[in-house]
Structure 1
Amino acid sequence: MNLDFETCYQAMLSRDRRFDGWFFTGVTTTGIYCRPVCRVRQPRRENCRFFAHSAAAEQAGFRPCLRCRPERAPGLAMTDMSARLAQSAAALIESGFLDEAPMAALAGRIGVSDRHLRRIFEAHFGVSIRRFVQTRRLLLAKRLLTETRLPMTELSLAAGFGSQRRFNALFRQGYGLTPSALRRTGGSDAGAPLCIELAYRPPLCWSALLAFLASRAIEGVESIEGECYARTVAIERRGQWHHGWVRVSHVPERHALSVTLPASLYPVVAGVLSRVRRLFDLDCSPELIDAHLGELAADRPGIRVPGAFDGFEMAVRAIAGQQIRVTQARRLLSRLVEQFGEPVAGAPAGLSVTFPQASRIAGLAPEALIAVGLLRQRAEAIIALACEIVAQRVSLAPLMHPAEVLPALRAIRGIGEWTVQYIAMRALAWPDAFPAGDAVLKKRLGLESARALEQYSHRWSPWRAYAAIRLWEGEDRPVTTPSHEEVTPS
């Protein structure tokens, strides 16, 4: 990312929230780096340095501000497609991938060599992968130190360090003080649920997000009560599965979501927080997108594309929901999880079972899925996809490039183009995915063919996924119907 000094300095002076997470300010006189929204006295121009990432600031010798807390900044939403490999690697790192796998496995996951991954990552972020990982772990540990009462041994493991001794040494080296010196009184007791906030760039249309998720909630897996979303969780780390639940509520006055999770998920807290960010699309830049969509976004700014807590789960939802009503798909999926999901003990009311893993589905015969109500072709497609994921021939991780994933999905019998685009929208977080064959979208825009809708949709590129969500969300409201000339190929 190229940073213009004057733009960054003016954004810092105005404390404009739209720039929060886009850059960090290092102050040479204090050795501290801050978010552009920091409320401390603003530094003189000649004392400022600007960095695209917190890891770059720390590599340059700056320490994170204890007031604005850079570890709480919203993530950077990248639109440069040439950087998607580096972004994909960063997303996997943020979810804790390298806490249990070597660098070669990370490179293999995104389809490049170890050497090439290191080169493009450093070119994009300005720091090595090793430094990026260390900064991520230190900043997560800093959050857990100040916001929880986790015992030091559990905290160091939850943050991704191999041992408390290693954690203590790196923390002192990076921040100039011991972990115990930073820890403050208060927070949650050991064994009690953790509560951590995740920041976003405003505006956020929370009501639209909840309505979308509520209409598709799977009984036993998800629950929406009032303004709160909850779901069950199953995450693997170092060969061990961790089961639990997560509850998410909106804190609009702080432009954040409050995330609560139980002690059973302490070891995978990084992965849980990363998945929550994806599910609620917290790293997008709504003002940029809304301005591009124009009139389509004018009445309800800040609508996000709901993501996926798990890529395989989202793909199964999409396949099961082909050419049937949302309510029918919910009933099918509820029967599927009741039959093949793992029970969760101690979960809040309404939550009882996790969505079945790909490894569980891959071992089934099609008749087992047909018995819960799926058509044979869809049952076979779900099992085939599960087998591809287990064999690591297909990855539905966020920010995987569609050119690598979508052809593999299309090759599976029973997965149509609508499903492929829907998976790209929600599982891959591809902002330009667009299901041109969708009957609701054609009806909303008064178009008769997928070809006409595909052509018309290019006015919203590269944010067509956001346009689709808005059109689905506003099904009961009129839109301007295009003229025949607008959609006829030249």
Structure 2
Amino acid sequence: MHDDFDRCFRAVQAKDARFDGWFVTAVLTTGIYCRPSCPVRPPHAQNMRFYPTAAAAQKAGFRACKRCRPDASPGSPEWNMRGDVVARAMRLIADGTVDREGVTGLAARLGYTTRQLERLLQAEVGANPLALARAQRSQTARVLIETTELPFSDVAFAAGFSSIRQFNDTIRAVCDMTPTALRQRARTRIGSDGEGNAGALSLRLPVRTPFAYEGLFGHLAASMVPGVEEVRDDAYRRTLRLPNGYGIVSLTPAADHVRCSVMLDDFRDLTTAIARCRRLLDLDADPEAVVDALCTDSDLSAVVAKAPGQRIPRTVDEHELAVRVVLGQQVSVKAARTHAGRLATAYGHPVTDVDGGLTHVFPAIEHLAEIDPAHLAFPKARQRSLTTLIRALADGDVVLDAGCDWDTAREQLLALPGIGPWTAELIAMRGLGDPDAFPVTDLGVRLAAEQLGLPSDPRTLTEYSTRWRPWRSYATQHLWTTLDHAVNDWPPKEK
């Protein structure tokens, strides 16, 4: 979009927050870049340049606006809508892959050479992987500076900087302020993002409106795994398994943001934890595009108009989601929760939750490799499906992660015994974030379609659904909202 000057200029003139994250506006006369919705009076058109990412603007020598904080805007929905290599790379970078594995590791995951990947990213997003990771590190550092009392040496280490000098130089270049000045400014600013202490921090996760969070949080609450997830004080809480340790996150929805409180064993995991929470809640979606597309269908438009801004209830761990989907084959939501809870208790890492009742992290695939059939109280055929999936994930025969190819993942899943289209599509939708996944044989989808007078036969409904492309995952979510089911209740009803 940044290549369309007229469209970007109109968005800036209108201060349209819907375009925050799609591009940034750089001002030649001030050397500052802003969100499209920045409240400052727009400059003359000849003094404006548009860049696809904050990293690209920083690379061109611009620094972030202190008023609108463009580096803290919602992520671009473009990287969630697409399945090409650039989008896959952007999702992996957001998950912290460059900091953990370097550019070489990122390229290897995508099946490209380092030089090929750098050339692709430079051409499309205006920055190479290191520059994109640097921009992400600066944002993580800014969050820690403003919301905690951590010493700056710890902030630098946690954000991924290799030295204090590199940390100081980057913060000055990006924010035009020293770390000390940033912290002092945050202390005096009304409505500061959080209240820091040595073990936890609180921040706002920005979201594009409209934001119909009831179906999203209701779905997560209805399928909670005992000990791994809970609802407490109108917040959805769960444990996290992260690269350097474990964490507990509490997420409370509001009209235009989600309040996030996170406890981490190691602050180096902050960037990854935030990225996974945003992924879990589908916060970088483009609701306006979904609403505009689905409302063209007269049979679905009333449902969409009743609750626009649906999000897909996703996951913090693609392997966990895949295991839970297989556990849920042909059983009730309650039974699937029971099965998953048994595995978590038997194989998950125990955690201490001083603020609630969480007890375990959902087990990693390698911890399920030698699973005891005594913990699988369901038919032998489904036991074989589950153990085969676990083995395939552990061996790398099936790749499910933030940067995997959606179509390849489907093919790998469907090659496994006991994995059919419903399972593969639900994993693609909720695990991988494919916006066009469509579990047509899902009972809820078929019941909702029948209630709306749509075809309920899978083949006919699949043909009909082509008018919803490329947003069939969101059409599925809208169909689910028509059901009298616990997935639509938030806060959950008392039992």
Q: Note whether the superposition's TM-score is higher than 0.5.
A: yes
CA contact (8 A) 1:245 1:347 kept: no
Secondary structure of 2:463's match? Answer: helix
Query: Given the alignment, which residue of 303, 311, 316 partners 1:309?
Result: 316
Query: Given the alignment, which residue of 228, 246, 250 partners 1:221?
Result: 228
Q: Distance in 1 between matches of 2:219 and 2:112?
A: 36
In structure 2, give the amino acid aligned to 1:236. P
CA contact (8 A) 2:209 2:287 kept: yes
Is 1:260 the counterpart of 2:268? The answer is: no
Q: 1:438 to 1:212 in 2, by over 3 A?
A: same
CA contact (8 A) 1:84 1:399 kept: no
Residue range with higher mean Cα deviation, 179-188 or 105-114: 179-188
More RCO (CA 8 Å, sep 6+): 2
Is 1:473 the counterpart of 2:474? The answer is: no
Q: 1:83 to 1:309 in 2, by over 3 A?
A: closer
Query: Given the alignment, which residue of 403, 407, 414 partners 1:410?
Result: 414
CA contact (8 A) 2:251 2:259 kept: yes
- CA deviation after TM superposition for structure 1 residue 95, in Å: 1.3
Query: Aligned-residue CA RMSD in angstroms?
Result: 2.1
Q: 1:399 to 1:77 in 2, by over 3 A?
A: farther
Which residue of the partner structure matches residue 245 of structure 1? 248
CA contact (8 A) 1:83 1:124 kept: no
CA contact (8 A) 1:434 1:465 kept: yes
**What per-residue deviation string (whole Å, max 9, x for no partner) do you get for residues 125-170 of structure 1?**
1211121111111122122222322221221122122333332233
Residue range with higher mean Cα deviation, 454-463 or 173-182: 173-182
- CA deviation after TM superposition for structure 1 residue 400, in Å: 2.5
Q: Distance in 2 between matches of 1:432 and 1:69?
A: 32
- CA deviation after TM superposition for structure 1 residue 368, in Å: 4.2
TM-score, scaled relative to structure 2: 0.89
Q: 1:72 to 1:412 in 2, by over 3 A?
A: same
Q: 1:121 to 1:369 in 2, by over 3 A?
A: farther
In structure 2, give the amino acid aligned to 1:424. A
Q: 1:346 to 1:224 in 2, by over 3 A?
A: closer
Q: Distance in 1 between matches of 2:319 and 2:40?
A: 44
Which residue of the partner structure matches residue 325 of structure 1? 332
- CA deviation after TM superposition for structure 1 residue 173, in Å: 4.7
Q: 1:91 to 1:325 in 2, by over 3 A?
A: same
Q: 1:362 to 1:9 in 2, by over 3 A?
A: same
How many residue pairs were aligned? 468
Q: 1:80 to 1:120 in 2, by over 3 A?
A: farther
Residue range with higher mean Cα deviation, 325-334 or 424-433: 325-334
Secondary structure of 1:91's match? Answer: helix
Q: 1:300 to 1:431 in 2, by over 3 A?
A: same
Q: Distance in 1 between matches of 2:28 and 2:149?
A: 33
Residue range with higher mean Cα deviation, 119-128 or 355-364: 119-128
Q: Distance in 2 between matches of 1:419 and 1:467?
A: 18
Residue range with higher mean Cα deviation, 192-201 or 182-191: 182-191
Secondary structure of 1:470's match? Answer: helix
TM-score, scaled relative to structure 1: 0.90
Secondary structure of 1:395's match? Answer: coil
**What per-residue deviation string (whole Å, max 9, x for no partner) do you get for residues 428-472 of structure 1?**
100000012223322332345321121111111100011111112
In structure 1, give the amino acid aligned to 2:412. A
Q: 1:195 to 1:458 in 2, by over 3 A?
A: same
Q: Distance in 1 between matches of 2:121 and 2:375?
A: 42
**What per-residue deviation string (whole Å, max 9, x for no partner) do you get for residues 387-429 of structure 1?**
3333333322235322221111111112111000000001110
- CA deviation after TM superposition for structure 1 residue 177, in Å: 4.3
- Runs of 5+ in structure 2 lacking a partner? 188-193, 296-300, 486-495
Which residue of the partner structure matches residue 487 of structure 1? none
Secondary structure of 2:265's match? Answer: helix
Is 1:232 the counterpart of 2:239? The answer is: yes
Which residue of the partner structure matches residue 114 of structure 1? 114
